[in-house]
Structure 1
């Protein structure tokens, strides 16, 4: 940390996100959760106590701390406390296997481990395999061979701690959801995370904003959701379960004004008529990202929430909230939006030449980008090219700078000398009466052509059969997009994101479960 960094504490993520708000509006409510309500001043004092305990254990600038936490309040306090001390959080996924957790902790160089009561049995299993971890801290009360983080915090000083890092110093390691090998550790810095927190320069807040979320704030969701909400002076409602059913109750109880979810959240929410009985009149802004926002899903949301502003966004763990906008307004219906303030986006061909109005590879840049993949310089060089992040997604940029995301290059289906994108087929399938959700994937065929497998889930209590879906699609799609097999499933497979609702659609799981339906047809 250079001498110029010490002139102002506002380059430290924990101070800029939380302490600044506590100085500005100490009595404003920062968050509500199962443990009760905290003002900004109260939350800041508790975070300071946590930071004091970390420092007493020698957990300060540059030291890496594995965090395996389930409770949103614990995540919020520990992540912000670590930021103030300068420790680097390794945000572990509680749904990884034991072997995966051990391998990630070892490769990340963590020498301290913070966990809560939900992880007691898991920690007991993996602890012998982690001799490099010398400090274990537990939230939720005392435990053998672990620091009682809560007890020590209760007796600790709540004065502002000496800030241990800022600006370009590493803040945290957030992990990709790679399908093979160990997930890559994405390094985000204090300044990069603060740039992400400035989301509200591009999205309206209005008076008395209330942001609702759940345990999804572990991982990069913390700097994409919880951090921006606090940075923007909002009231953060932390639900232990943010499933659609819980959301319906919490939205009315807490008068939630803002949420950020994946489109599949609304696919599940609007499957039946329970939402019709809920009071959602407080909801002002819905942010949709993480998956393509298909026009059919957007139409269903707008029908249910006609006065709510719907924003779509595009980004990745390596570059959160890069592009944002209101679909279907001044932009093309399928466009996500334009680059967020201080960020930029371009689409290039295979030679790196900029394209307008043509499909190519999406490139992102801005102060919010990852610093790199921890300990993996070759992989870093593959995605960071001349200051741009190139993550392998395909898209089209129009002459006004609006980006339409076509999807992952690896998801494109080779058919009849052309590439078919799953979203084209899924959008048509959602227009078929009785279809609640759709997922299209490629299945290897003979030669270079691939077969198309479509899985659909019906609206509850509505009959749906393969011939009906197939006949309807024949009239909506060109022949090279026609699926070779249609599977009717009660539900489609989704990833576990800890939110309580269904996570992202797992196309690879669709392929694994039902590829034989195509192969069995002798195609």
Structure 2
């Protein structure tokens, strides 16, 4: 189907993908350019030779601790070199990495550690007190080893092994402790769903290798590029960027978190060529009263994780002369599935671009899943080597979205006559706040934990800066009184920053269908009508 829809000059030919373990990408790049700078972090600079040596040391250290192929290692930290090094080291041993959001609170930490059955944990020392709180309330029988960043132990976790000790005391030579294949499980990032708590997404070595190479090939990224990476590496978008830059032999400037002014200064200082963001950052750049000439070395500003409105992108491109483009993907696809062509003359900013190499797309009817022709709107389904193996411990949910190799995205869109994909709606229930997917069911479950609440719903409310604000609706138990502000304080103290409610309203009833499913669309329509009356 793709060949019929895409003009010959736009079709991306298949890539020859290596049958290897994930660390192969770094080792190959280091072999070609051992003394090139790979990572810059504050005042630290690491060459490819040094990164490989540290990867070997950590891999040998993890092996000596007793970690084996198939064990799960949770990474709980912000953007730091230790994250990247440990991810690749674990990959070389066949250990499965489960990244965890460093803004998580106790209940969220406990859920992921329990659900993933994590055998080991690497925690940033500033976050160690949170782990101690979780350990006091949960047994965590699978968790055998805790590592903490730095060269000394921490008072809150005296049993934790300092990371620097493991690095210094282990051999920097490569030792193949076990055979790791491309179809072995590599990563278990947690993706929010619409029917409850987040689900582990099973990604193999092949999935991530394929997606890194698809990403690099789609935009012609090579060893000459310098990327600024402030997007969180625990998120699949950030993980794709840092892994892809190492695979390319390029240089990455790593920021712990986003700061607009600092990002501009780093662009100027390090002659950054690639600037990766999300729509709220594109909007901030387009409207910020700052000197954007510091971005003069930047060739592309790339946006992902949420739909990009064309107008701010055009405004920013006009202000800077930089190509502003977007891609499309999801955690289940490692994540990239679509990208604009590398040639600016072929950009279609109102679309998410063309399928990346080795990727097929179809639009199917919502009612009977028959394939639809160009221009007709239906569900987007995809097939390619980057598509996940399934959801962790969720065979029914896996069977629902994966059939004959095709992944049902739940997103609604159409393909135009040139093969460009237009996404016209998101997964129906998800809330998109600042580029992060938030499951309303998880928020509703938390609201229902309050003794004054008998029923609850959560929706996204359109917002120019955040994409969507998170609003909760609650029905109180008879005889109970509580204010929205009190409910906000109760919930937000238990949620990561991107999941926090901005609004809560007390109402009489939650609209539901005959089977009891919440009719969130009715709440959205009601909210939209109210806003239109006020405007």
Q: Is the 8 A contact 2:286 2:313 kept in 1?
A: no
Q: Distance in 2 between matches of 1:33 and 1:453?
A: 37
* Aligned twin of 1:339: 355
| Matched residue SS, 1:103 | helix
Q: Is the 8 A contact 1:66 1:105 kept in 2?
A: yes
CA 1:223–1:519 in 2, change beyond 3 Å: closer, same or farther? closer
Q: Distance in 1 between matches of 2:354 and 2:531?
A: 44
* Aligned twin of 1:100: 108
CA 1:245–1:180 in 2, change beyond 3 Å: closer, same or farther? farther
CA 1:194–1:223 in 2, change beyond 3 Å: closer, same or farther? farther
| Matched residue SS, 2:183 | coil
Deviation per CA, 1:31-77: give whole Å up to 9, x if none. 11125101100110011111111001111210111211224211101
Q: Distance in 2 between matches of 1:18 and 1:92?
A: 23
Q: Would you say how many aligned residue pairs link Structure 1 and Structure 2?
A: 436
Q: Distance in 1 between matches of 2:505 and 2:194?
A: 13
* Aligned twin of 1:444: none
Q: Is the 8 A contact 2:326 2:349 kept in 1?
A: no
CA 1:352–1:95 in 2, change beyond 3 Å: closer, same or farther? same
For structure 1, the residue ranges without an aligned partner over 5 or more in a row are 1-7, 413-421, 423-450, 459-496
Where relative contact order (Cα < 8 A, 6+ residues apart) is larger, the structure is 2
Of 369-378 and 236-245, the range deviating more from structure 2: 236-245
Q: Distance in 2 between matches of 1:340 and 1:67?
A: 29
Match of 1:72 among 77, 80, 91: 80
RMSD after superposition: 3.3
* Aligned twin of 1:400: 418
Within the alignment, does 1:233 sit opposite 2:249 as a pair? Answer: yes
Runs of 4+ off more than 6 Å:
510-517, 520-523
| Matched residue SS, 1:270 | helix
TM-score, normalised by the number of residues in structure 2: 0.75
Q: Distance in 2 between matches of 1:204 and 1:510?
A: 43
Match of 1:149 among 150, 156, 163: 163
* Aligned twin of 1:473: none
CA 1:332–1:208 in 2, change beyond 3 Å: closer, same or farther? closer
Deviation, 1:213, is: 0.5
* Aligned twin of 1:192: 207
* Aligned twin of 2:184: 169
Deviation, 1:181, is: 2.9
Deviation, 1:116, is: 1.8
* Aligned twin of 1:56: 64
Q: Is the 8 A contact 1:186 1:317 kept in 2?
A: yes
Q: Distance in 1 between matches of 2:208 and 2:68?
A: 19
Q: Distance in 1 between matches of 2:427 and 2:411?
A: 6
* Aligned twin of 1:3: none
TM-score, normalised by the number of residues in structure 1: 0.76
Match of 2:127 among 95, 119, 129: 119
Within the alignment, does 1:12 sit opposite 2:30 as a pair? Answer: no
Match of 1:321 among 336, 346, 360: 336
Within the alignment, does 1:352 sit opposite 2:360 as a pair? Answer: no
* Aligned twin of 1:283: 298
CA 1:209–1:455 in 2, change beyond 3 Å: closer, same or farther? closer
CA 1:452–1:61 in 2, change beyond 3 Å: closer, same or farther? closer
Deviation, 1:154, is: 0.7
Match of 1:391 among 404, 409, 413: 409
Match of 1:363 among 381, 387, 396: 381
CA 1:247–1:185 in 2, change beyond 3 Å: closer, same or farther? same
Q: Distance in 2 between matches of 1:196 and 1:122?
A: 33
Q: Distance in 2 between matches of 1:135 and 1:507?
A: 31
Q: Is the 8 A contact 1:65 1:113 kept in 2?
A: yes
Of 156-165 and 513-522, the range deviating more from structure 2: 513-522
Of 318-327 and 354-363, the range deviating more from structure 2: 318-327
CA 1:35–1:88 in 2, change beyond 3 Å: closer, same or farther? farther
Match of 2:285 among 269, 289, 308: 269
* Aligned twin of 1:38: 46
* Aligned twin of 1:418: none
Q: Is the 8 A contact 1:104 1:182 kept in 2?
A: no
* Aligned twin of 1:295: 310
Q: Is the 8 A contact 1:229 1:236 kept in 2?
A: yes
Q: Is the 8 A contact 2:79 2:232 kept in 1?
A: no
Q: Is the 8 A contact 1:110 1:133 kept in 2?
A: yes
Match of 1:224 among 234, 240, 250: 240
| Matched residue SS, 2:358 | coil
Deviation, 1:186, is: 0.4
CA 1:383–1:39 in 2, change beyond 3 Å: closer, same or farther? same
CA 1:454–1:339 in 2, change beyond 3 Å: closer, same or farther? closer
Q: Is the 8 A contact 2:201 2:331 kept in 1?
A: yes
Of 177-186 and 211-220, the range deviating more from structure 2: 177-186
| Matched residue SS, 1:185 | strand
Q: Distance in 1 between matches of 2:170 and 2:177?
A: 17
Q: Distance in 1 between matches of 2:415 and 2:18?
A: 39
